[in-house]
A and B are shown apart, each in its own frame.
Chain A
Amino acid sequence: MSAILRAQGLGKRYGRRWALSDCNLEIPAGKVVGLVGPNGAGKTTLLHLAVGLLTPTAGTIEVLGDRPAASPAQLGRVGFVAQETPAYATLSVADHLSLGAWLNPGWDDKLAKRRIEGLGLDLKQKAGKLSGGERAQLALTLAIAKRPELLLLDEPVAGLDPLARREFLQGLMEIVAEHGVSVVLSSHLVADLERVCDYLVVLVASRVRVAGEVEELLASHRRLTGPRRDPGTLPASQEVIEESHTDRQSTLLVRTEGPILDPAWTIEEISLEDLVLAYMRQREDTDRGHRSKLEVLR
């Protein structure tokens, strides 16, 4: 399967600070990708690089097999909803649709009108008077009506109340089911992503910590609890992501492809949230961090 997004050694520096460094990713098409990490981890930078709003300081990025924003055609293939789902406050909903139709050669006006109607939005309403949830839905409508192959969404539900959040994700899943568009959406909340994403990229302190199919990630990570033990004595195939010890007990979060045979351990599956949190807590420059990055490249 072809990659929708391929990054090699990708980095972006602002002055002396690297907002994103040594980013290697290969995201397959047809996925809903969750880009998760704490605020300031580089999520927005990566998305802006993907949409062509920024140019890389180092490395390369390809989106749908081409350089981002390389041509008007390339721009038309990527839909983007920026953080806080901006809209023009003094323009009406109808004005936004006209603007979308005028700016995008592939504009699907029927689709746009149908969505706006389905949402119960008033075409004459000024965007500045819309609620946060309605504005987010308007922004999503504009992004999808240009019929992109890839939809990039930067923290689309961050500012929304739980109901608006759910409604937005429902709308997004309807679009995915109907048009089969690939999606990358960022969030600092795993709970938002757990239902909708089938691929996950964890970004912390400008680096990719782990990336992969959600199912494979969940299948390859286990929590082991047992008598106190030095993690160094584990089989080489078991990579320790996180460890904690009391006088008598050790609790480890390990990544392994094979079965865990040692009968001393109580083995538990972990939730996606625990998995993400464990990678977020990992310190940057440990050996472990590097090893997990190498595995990501596999």
Chain B
Amino acid sequence: MIEFHLDSRSGVSAYLQLVHQVRQALRLGLLFEGEQLPTVKHVATSLAINPNTVLKAYRELEYQGLVAPRPGIGTFVTKTLSDASLGAHGLLRQDLKRWLAKARRAGLDEESIEALFQDTFRSAAQENVA
């Protein structure tokens, strides 16, 4: 069973933080197929957050095909993310390293690189929405 936590200063909505934490736990192999997620009531009570926020996160995970509810019992993990993503992960990391080296050669310092990344990330995310 995993234990959720919330960072109220991150600017990321609570429901997304919960989704990320489950995905992260799946990826790191901390959560297995067949395991139960904490109940909505348990999460709402322990974090002092609105139960609807927890429900929304669980529905999103269900939509992503990672968990499934069993009526009257709880929500269970139906898929793991750990092995499949590792290979792709390594490739992406290599790409990113190459890109970082390029950015440094172009004379960007760490702060500029971070700003450029954030800016591109955000505009790409917005294009996806639009």
Contacts and interface: CB of A to CB of B under 8 A. Distances in A.
A243 interface: no
B94 interface: no
Nearest to A259: B130
B69 to A, nearest CB: 15
Interface of B: 6, 8, 11, 13-14, 40-41, 44-53, 126, 129-130
Going nearest first, the 7 A-B pairs with the smallest beta carbon separation are: A177-B41, A169-B48, A177-B51, A174-B45, A173-B44, A170-B48, A177-B44
Contact of B46 (A32, A170, A197, A218): A170
Give chain B's interface secondary structure class. helix
A244 interface: no
Interface of A: 32, 166, 169-174, 176-178, 191, 194-198, 218, 259, 267, 269, 271
Nearest to B130: A259
A176 B51 contact: yes
Contacts of B51: 173, 176-177
Contacts of A166: 48
Q: In this complex, which of B40, B41, B50, B129 has the most chain A Cβ atoms within 10 angstroms of its Cβ?
A: B50
B54 to A, nearest CB: 8
Contacts of B50: 32, 173, 176, 195-198
B48 A195 contact: yes
Given A269-B11, A271-B11, A195 B41 contact: no
A218 B40 CA distance: 24
Given A197-B50, A198-B50, A177 B40 contact: yes
